[in-house]
């Protein structure tokens, strides 16, 4: 058996490795840095067939009101698609919908959010075009991105918009970003603003760990990178949420903590959310008491 | 958001272990093109997720985990005409009929479903400790030991059976 195993190992070590793996790695690293630097390059118009729709919504609120297919939000505020970036080639596809909030009752907050949406969508589109250009230079490939938004919550008091980005080629990855707005007081709610002090970080983290272990016990196919439940201790395991962890408040006025792919579990589990019971937060909630 | 310090560590690690990461991928997909694609995708994922790497001393097992998960995702997608769940996939193995060469390793690997394949490859070919393997596969140590034992039992049957020498085709039939 041992000799056989040594023989197998020899064969394993002789699996021929193709040339150019380091080029793959360096290329990936270059792209990674490139994305991080958010460098904007102008793309020649011939690089892709691009259609840019700037709808009448931008300039005509009455048209927006009349158009029933747009989701109408709350008594006043609305979330509309004001712009779309589309690339539609056989192996390069992008569809980016840019949301805008209107009639929020506070122009500066509205502009702050809408500017952010517009800038980030533009950046996503530019990055995509850079990637496409790179691929074309290197003999082709596939690329795809889809981005849009969902209205997670819309109550008399709260509006929560979640924006997503999905890479549609290769293993699909999805990231979500949320903005939660208090429509009555016209403020953007941050996670820390929900609580009196920073105890929330530890309280929420502990609750999430308990939920992870409970979910794993309930369903043997689930994995979270967390200590306990007989799992290997590891520094990779989930320790704590970030101070400004991604979150939203759902229709039942409960706090929902959201993690992107790979943050707390294997990628196959995708985006992961935890609803934090308001009881565990009761003692530390701030004056506004958004959570019920 | 600039490149985090950990992305440099990740880059170092990938460069250092690139050959073995490729071989690891190869043991799942068993053809050079797919193995190369998986290596590439895993590299992208690792760099993109490098921020989530809390302790650089675990970078190797973390990267291997990404390679294995990418390979399993790939196999799952390739199988997606039949809706296999993870357990079915990993328990019964795969029936991809690539061109077989007269190659002991390939047959040994074919004999093992991916779940068992990983432990054998990591333990005997990559010389990892049980604890490290548990870390790569996100399982506890006892599960790994059980799997290793099962895997060896399957392999032993295959290695000791004189009747099978030189006549592998009828097990892989």
Spatial distance between the Cα atoms of B91 and B68, rounded to a whole number of angstroms: 16
- A88 - beta bridge partners? A93
Quote the pLDDT of residue B5: 54
Whole-model pTM: value is: 0.49
Q: Which residue of B has its CA nearest to A242?
A: B52
Long-range contacts of A140-143 (CB under 8 A, 24+ apart): A140/A91, A141/A91, A142/A91, A142/A92, A142/A169, A142/A170, A143/A91, A143/A92, A143/A93, A143/A94, A143/A169
Task: Report the percent of chain A where pLDDT is more than 70.
Answer: 79
Q: Which of A21, A236, A6, A170 has the alpha carbon at shortest distance from B20?
A: A21
Which candidate in B19, B50, B111 is best for mutational testing of the A interface (most A CBs within 10 A)? B19
Q: Which is higher by pLDDT, B172 or A13?
A: A13
CB contact under 8 A, B23 and A15: yes
d(CA A122, nearest CA chain B) in Å: 17
d(CA B48, nearest CA chain A) in Å: 7
CB contact under 8 A, A29 and B47: yes
Q: How confident is the model at residue A275 (pLDDT cuts 50, 70, 90)?
A: very high
Quote the pLDDT of residue A232: 67
d(CA B41, nearest CA chain A) in Å: 8
Q: Report the largest interatomic distance among the alpha carbons of chain A, rounded to a whole angstrom.
A: 81
- A53 - beta bridge partners? A84
Quote the pLDDT of residue A186: 87
Q: Which residue of B has its CA nearest to A233?
A: B135
Which candidate in A27, A32, A142 is best for mutational testing of the B interface (most B CBs within 10 A)? A32
d(CA B171, nearest CA chain A) in Å: 18
Considering only CB atoms, which chain A residues are within 8 Å of B52? 262-263
Q: What is the pLDDT of residues A106-165, one digit of tens each?
A: 888 889 999 999 998 988 888 888 878 877 877 777 788 889 998 899 888 899 999 988
CB contact under 8 A, B11 and A25: yes
Considering only CB atoms, which chain A residues are within 8 Å of B58? 234-236
Is residue B75 within 8 Å of residue B98, measured between CB atoms?
no
Q: Is the pLDDT score of A178 beyond 90? A: yes
Q: Of the ranges A18-27, A50-59, A179-188, A257-266, which one carries the lowest mean pLDDT score?
A: A50-59
Taking only Cα atoms into account, the Rg of chain A, rounded to an integer number of angstroms, comes to 23
Q: Which residue of A has its CA nearest to B124?
A: A9
> What is the mean predicted confidence (pLDDT) over A5-34?
83
Centre a 10 Å sphere on the Cβ of residue B54 and count the other Cβ atoms it contains.
15
CB contact under 8 A, B18 and A231: no
User: How far from A183 is each of A190, A291, B11, CA to CA, in Å?
Assistant: 14, 15, 45
Which residues are within 8 A (CB) of A258 and not within 5 positions of it... i.e. 6 or more apart? A176, A178, A245, A246, A247, A248, A271, A272, A273
H/E/C letters for each residue in A22-45? HHHHHHHHHHHHHHHHCCCCCCCH
Spatial distance between the Cα atoms of B84 and B80, rounded to a whole number of angstroms: 7
- Backbone angles phi and psi of A140, in degrees to 5: 100, 175
| Structural domains in chain A plus CATH codes | 40-189 (3.30.565.40), 193-284 (3.90.640.20)
Q: Which residue of B has its CA nearest to A37?
A: B2
Q: Is the pLDDT score of B3 beyond 60? A: no
Quote the pLDDT of residue B57: 77
Q: Which is higher by pLDDT, A165 or B3?
A: A165
Q: Which residue of A has its CA nearest to B107?
A: A8
Is residue A87 within 8 Å of residue A128, measured between CB atoms?
yes
Q: Which residue of B has its CA nearest to A26?
A: B11
Q: What is the pLDDT of residues B60-92, one digit of tens each?
A: 889 999 999 999 888 888 765 444 444 444 444
Q: How many residues does chain B have?
A: 173
Quote the pLDDT of residue A185: 87
Q: How confident is the model at residue A78 (pLDDT cuts 50, 70, 90)?
A: confident
CB contact under 8 A, A36 and B3: yes
Spatial distance between the Cα atoms of B105 and A15, rounded to a whole number of angstroms: 10
Task: Report the percent of chain B where pLDDT is more than 70.
Answer: 72
Nearest CB to A22 within list B18, B27, B44? B18
Considering only CB atoms, which chain B residues are within 8 Å of A272? none
Quote the pLDDT of residue A180: 93
User: What is the interface pTM, i.e. ipTM, of the complex?
Assistant: 0.72
The β-bridge relationship of strands A158-167 and A92-102 is unpaired
Considering only CB atoms, which chain B residues are within 8 Å of A4? 104, 155, 159
> What is the mean predicted confidence (pLDDT) over A212-233?
81
Considering only CB atoms, which chain B residues are within 8 Å of A33? 3, 7
Q: Which of A233, A270, A256, A276 has the alpha carbon at shortest distance from B54?
A: A233
CB contact under 8 A, A8 and B108: yes
Q: Of the ranges A18-22, B55-59, B157-161, which one carries the lowest mean pLDDT score?
A: B157-161
d(CA A267, nearest CA chain B) in Å: 8
Quote the pLDDT of residue A50: 37
| Structural domains in chain B plus CATH codes | 5-172 (1.20.140.160)
CB contact under 8 A, A267 and B45: yes
d(CA A242, nearest CA chain B) in Å: 12
State the average pLDDT for chain A.
Answer: 78
Q: What is the pLDDT of residues A42-73, one digit of tens each?
A: 333 333 333 333 333 343 444 444 433 444 44
Q: What is the pLDDT of residues B14-23, one digit of tens each?
A: 988 999 999 9
CB contact under 8 A, A7 and B69: no
Spatial distance between the Cα atoms of B70 and B57, rounded to a whole number of angstroms: 22
Is residue A161 within 8 Å of residue A79, measured between CB atoms?
yes
H/E/C letters for each residue in A256-292? EEEECCCCCCCHHHCCEEEEECHHHHHHHECCCCCCC
Most confident of A168-182, B25-39, B110-124: B25-39
Q: What is the pLDDT of residues B98-147, one digit of tens each?
A: 433 334 677 777 778 877 888 889 988 888 888 889 889 888 877 788 88
Quote the pLDDT of residue B90: 44
Q: B24: number of CA atoms within 13 Å, CB side?
A: 34
Q: Which residue of B has its CA nearest to A239?
A: B54
Q: How many residues does chain A have?
A: 292
CB contact under 8 A, B104 and A171: no
Quote the pLDDT of residue B87: 42
Strands (E), chain A: 50-54, 78-88, 92-102, 143-154, 158-167, 173-182, 187-189, 247-249, 255-259, 272-276
Q: Is the pLDDT score of B170 beyond 80? A: no
Quote the pLDDT of residue A35: 64
């Amino acid at each position: 058996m041992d000799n056989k195993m040594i023989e197998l190992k020899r064969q394993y070590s002789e699996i021929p490795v193709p040339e150019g793996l380091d080029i793959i790695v360096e290329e990936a690293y270059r792209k990674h840095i490139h994305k991080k630097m958010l460098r904007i390059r102008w793309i020649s118009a011939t690089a892709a067939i691009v259609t840019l729709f700037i709808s009448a919504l931008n300039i005509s609120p009455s048209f927006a009101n009349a158009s029933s297919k747009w989701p109408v939000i709350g008594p006043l505020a609305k979330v509309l698609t004001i712009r779309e970036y589309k690339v539609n080639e056989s192996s390069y596809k992008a569809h980016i919908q840019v949301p805008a909030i209107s009639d929020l009752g506070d122009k500066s907050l509205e502009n702050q959010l809408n500017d952010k949406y517009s800038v980030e969508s533009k950046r996503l589109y530019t990055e995509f075009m850079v990637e496409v250009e790179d691929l074309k230079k290197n003999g082709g490939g596939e690329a795809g991105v889809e981005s849009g938004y969902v209205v997670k919550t819309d109550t008399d008091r709260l509006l929560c918009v979640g924006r997503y980005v999905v890479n549609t080629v290769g293993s699909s990855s999805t990231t979500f970003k949320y903005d939660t707005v208090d429509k009555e007081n016209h403020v953007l709610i941050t996670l820390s603003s929900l609580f009196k002090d920073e105890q929330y970080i530890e309280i929420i983290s502990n609750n999430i760990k308990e939920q992870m272990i409970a979910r794993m016990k309930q369903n043997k196919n689930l994995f979270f990178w967390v200590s306990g439940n007989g799992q290997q201790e590891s520094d990779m395991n989930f320790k704590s949420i970030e101070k400004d962890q991604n979150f939203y408040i759902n229709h039942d006025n409960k706090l929902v903590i959201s993690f992107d792919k790979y943050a707390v579990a294997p990628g196959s589990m995708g985006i992961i959310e935890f609803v934090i019971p308001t009881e565990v937060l009761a003692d530390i909630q701030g004056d506004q008491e958004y959570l019920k | 958001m600039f490149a985090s310090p950990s992305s440099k560590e990740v880059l170092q690690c990938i460069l250092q272990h690139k050959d073995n990461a490729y071989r690891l991928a190869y043991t799942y997909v068993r053809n050079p093109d797919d193995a190369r694609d998986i290596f590439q995708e895993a590299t992208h994922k690792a760099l993109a997720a490098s921020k989530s790497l809390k302790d650089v001393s675990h970078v190797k097992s973390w990267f291997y985990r990404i390679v294995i998960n990418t390979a399993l995702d790939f196999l799952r997608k390739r199988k997606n005409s039949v809706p296999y769940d993870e357990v079915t996939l990993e328990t019964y193995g795969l029936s991809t009929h690539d061109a077989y060469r007269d190659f002991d390793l390939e047959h040994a690997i074919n004999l093992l479903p991916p779940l068992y394949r990983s432990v054998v490859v990591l333990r005997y070919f990559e010389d990892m400790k049980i604890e490290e393997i548990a870390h790569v596969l996100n399982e506890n140590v006892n599960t790994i030991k059980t799997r290793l034992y099962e895997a060896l039992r399957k392999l032993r049957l295959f290695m000791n059976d004189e009747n099978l020498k030189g006549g592998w085709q009828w097990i892989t039939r």
